[in-house]
Amino acid sequence: MKVLAAALITVVLWGASPVAAKIAVSSLSPMMVAILRTVIGGLIALPLAILIRIPLPADTSQRRLLILSGFCGFVAFPVLFTLGILHTSANHASMILAGLPVFTGLIAMTWDKKRPARTWWIGCTIAMAGEALLIFGQGLDSATGASISGDLLVLTSNVFASLGYVAGGRLERNGYPAMGTTFYGVGLYALILLPLLFIVEPGTPMLEVPTGIWISIAYLAIGVTIVGYVLWYWALGRGGIARIALLQFLQPVSGVILAAILLDEDFGAVFIAASGVILFGVWYALRANR
């Protein structure tokens, strides 16, 4: 039950991330938002890791997994996702992220040299068909606020996010704490990205950035990056990467609701149909792990 609760809390936290990112890029560039969420998260996490004396990974293989999970989760994913969210709607981004279990499960099973069950393949094929309908069928809806290029950037970010999840989950499974994976991972790349804050948007008057934008960035840095990743890596390591990853099919629910309330985003029949296909496909794939 603890594993399931941790995974579900993470899914709820992450479900709001497309809305928070959409709000943030309304005043700052996508690169600045992506860098800020990692830098702020890292500057909080790294001192905490040192203060509570979390050890660094003991061997080379664990260090490589830490570097891989950190790069994918705290550099590649936020950059691609935030670039994508600038050119698409939070609704579309939320539903595209529903495909994360497909990529996570496939990477995990390939890494472990396991053959997925036929039910899993059928479900994933259905889910990906729904993703294709969502991305390439958006022209049939009158007002989606999305674009194919933006959707494809978000879809590409899924691959890096999933690879980071698998690497972090393997670290937890190998005995390294999820808190260490998150704190040192985001801390390492925060130090690397910190100088870029003065290059990406030099002279940006940060004190003039609206409070709502800072709240959104703080949510991405603390709620999504620190709390979310700690819980998620722990759940993946304890509950099985492929099985727990499929719970992300619930993630779009909070995202779509918040997009309607906070951003007044509209969606048409194609979005509804594609969403239904995606969620049905992921649910069907979930049956393979029962």
Which is nearest to 184 in space by CA: 55, 31, 13, 84?
Answer: 55
- For residue 204, the model assigns a pLDDT of 65
pLDDT at 83 over 70: yes
CA distance 15 to 90: 10
Contact 235, 176 (CB under 8 A): no
Which is nearest to 104 in space by CA: 65, 157, 63?
Answer: 157
Segment 204-227 mean pLDDT: 86
pLDDT at 225 over 70: yes
Which of 24-33, 71-80, 151-160, 202-211 bottoms out in mean pLDDT, i.e. has the lowest? Answer: 202-211
- For residue 41, the model assigns a pLDDT of 94
Segment 175-199 mean pLDDT: 90
pLDDT at 50 over 80: yes
- For residue 140, the model assigns a pLDDT of 62
How many CA atoms does the CB half-sphere of 71 hold within 13 Å?
7
CA distance 182 to 52: 14
**If you write DSSP's letter for every residue of the chain in order, what string do you get?**
-HHHHHHHHHHHHHHTHHHHHHHHTTTS-HHHHHHHHHHHHHHHHHHHHHHTTPPPPSSHHHHHHHHHHHHIIIIIHHHHHHHHHHTS-HHHHHHHHTTHHHHHHHHHHHHTT-PPPHHHHHHHHHHHHHHHHHHHSGGGSS-----HHHHHHHHHHHHHHHHHHHHHHHHHHTT--HHHHHHHHHHHHHHHHGGGHHHHSTT--GGGS-HHHHHHHHIIIIIIIIIIHHHHHHHHHHH-HHHHHGGGGGHHHHHHHHHHHHS-----HHHHHHHHHHHHHHHHHHGGG-
Which of 42-46, 85-89, 110-114, 221-225 bottoms out in mean pLDDT, i.e. has the lowest? Answer: 110-114
Which of 101-110, 112-121, 234-243, 266-275 bottoms out in mean pLDDT, i.e. has the lowest? Answer: 234-243
pLDDT at 199 over 90: no
